[in-house]
Amino acid sequence: MRVALKLVLATVLGTLAVLIIFGWVRARKEIELFDLDMRRDHLLVGTTLAVCVADEWVVAGQARAMQLVRQADEERQHMRVGFVHPSGRQNEVAPGRVPQRSVVNHLENFVMADPSEPNEEFLVSRVPVHGDKGELLGAVEICERLGIRDEFVRSNLVGTLAATLAMVGFSGMVVLVMGVWLVGRPLNLLAAKAQRIGQGDLTGALSFTQRDEISELASEVNAMCERLAEANARTQAETTARIDAIEQLRHADRLITVGRLAAGIAHELGTPLNVIAGRVKMLRRGTVEAEVGAEYLAAVAEQAERMTVIIRQLLDFAGRREPRPAPTDLRHIARVIARLVEPIARKHEVQVEIAAEGGSAMALGDPVQLEQVLSNLVVNGIHACSPGGKVRITCGTEPAFGGDRNDPPSVGRRAYLRVTDDGHGMDEATKARIFEPFFTTKDVGQGTGLGLSVAHGIIVENGGSISVTSQRGMGSTFSVFLPAVAT
């Protein structure tokens, strides 16, 4: 229920309750006052008439006294005046209304029902009349309908009810208008502002002309929006700086890997350069037949293309670019990285092999970023192996809950890329910190501790996960899981 309607309802009910109680108390009071006033009138009329009747009885006789009572009865419209003998017998000339009720020697008031008129009551007052010797001659009886009192009280109640309804209606209307204007409208604006804040819209300050608690609340909401806007700006700036820092770390890690690969690639380029130099020298001497010269030129072109491919792969790997997730063949990634790390593997006398597994190996991810992740994992595996060791790359797809049961659940199938080495392995303490930035088990100058941290961030950014299983002396397996792409 709206606040304004609640205020109106509370005000109307409260006012109505007060006025009803007031009307009831007032009605009871008026009944008491009316009864008291009737008794006083009866006493005044009865006492005066009793004195007159007694005097007339002594001076002119009983008949003349009864004529006086009858005359008093005829002059009063709302009262019935009669005379009752001491035994309770009604006088024939001026009869009363109460039959067969003996007269007492003092003022008497009582209420009786009229048998001739149902639901009608009378207030009866009897004032004794004494003779000149003090004997009881009878009593002047005065009867008056109590319906007059009820009609008077009913009339007052109707007036009170009309005034109550008018007051309740007017006060309810005033409270409704003021409630809508001073409470309902501002609260609706505050609710709309709160909804906009929940949706991220911090613009449009509230402004109220009233000066009360609601306007203070609006001022606090405006101040909160200003603080939230400032906090959002700071958060945005910090997020941008963090993203830039992460990207710089990734690029730095990529360049570190490029540096490691460069030495081996320089050696790799030596063979084709020697082939090219030897063939060119022989061609310059002019002693080579035309057919053999054509073969030499073909060999030179082949070796130049080989060097171009090697250098292009290295430059593509080292270049900084925005992530571009796309369907990627993990087997192709594995072959590219195997060629790039071949010089390092040969230097450490470690064999890198790609295991052929059936089925699709298509995943959704940025191919360049995935090359960086795989190169880190393979180079780390080479460094972990002793001479004669082996690093094995496997890729494919599997049910979403395949492999490590601790991996985050997903729906359908997922692509995987695993790098397994037969190196020295890791203990539990090392595994717990393996993805922390700047954590490394290599000697000073041999590692930065960024490779696995960067790899973890890249995989999470591409919607996947990475895990490791390892035992001391049994080697390690790093598993990368990515969303699979149907083929």
* Rounded percentage of the chain residues whose pLDDT exceeds 90: 10
pLDDT tens for 5-28 read 777 777 778 877 887 888 788 878
Which of 114, 130, 164 finishes a domain? 164
* pLDDT above 60 (res 275): yes
**Of 90-99, 135-144, 357-366, which one has max mean pLDDT?**
135-144
Mean pLDDT calculated for residue range 63-81: 83
| Residue 482 confidence class, pLDDT cut points 50, 70, 90 | very high
Q: Which of 164, 195, 222 is the last residue of a domain?
A: 164
Task: Please list the residues that pair with 481 across neighbouring strands.
Answer: 416, 465
Domain assignment present for 129: yes
pLDDT tens by residue, 144-193: 887 777 777 778 778 878 887 887 788 778 777 777 777 777 778 888 88
Predicted confidence at residue 469, as pLDDT, reads 92
User: In the structure encoding, which two tokens stand for residue 139, read together?
Assistant: 């009593």
Is 74 among the domain residues?
A: yes
CB-based burial label for 329 (10 Å; 0-12, 13-18, 19+): middle
3-state secondary structure of 42: helix
Tokens of 454: 């960067």
Angle at 251 between CA 248 and CA 256, to 5 degrees: 125
Nearest by Cα to 455 from 410, 409, 417:
417
Alpha carbons 209 and 225: distance in angstroms, whole number: 20
Domain that holds residue 408: 325-487
Spatial CA neighbour of 82 closest among 67, 100, 74, 70: 70
Q: Would 205 be classed as within a structural domain?
A: no
Q: How, if at all, do strands 390-399 and 351-354 pair? A: parallel
Q: Is residue 263 part of a domain?
A: no
Q: How far is 225 from 103, CA to CA, in rounded Å?
A: 92
**Residue linked to tokens 């109505």:** 16
Q: 């770390």: which residue's tokens?
A: 249
Asked which of 61-65, 270-274, 390-394 is least confident by mean pLDDT, the reply is 270-274
Three-state DSSP class for residue 144: strand
CATH number at residue 423: 3.30.565.10
pLDDT band at 219 (very low <50, low <70, confident <90, very high): confident
Band of pLDDT at residue 317, cut at 50, 70 and 90? low
Angle at 275 between CA 271 and CA 280, to 5 degrees: 150
Which of 164, 183, 204 corresponds to the end of one domain? 164
pTM exceeds cut of 0.85: no
State the distance between the two ends of the chain, measured CA to CA, in whole angstroms.
58
pLDDT of residue 403: 45
Q: What percent of the chain has pLDDT over 70?
A: 78
Q: What is the pLDDT of residue 418?
A: 93
145: domain CATH number is 3.30.450.20
Q: How many domains does the chain have?
A: 2
Domain contains 201: no
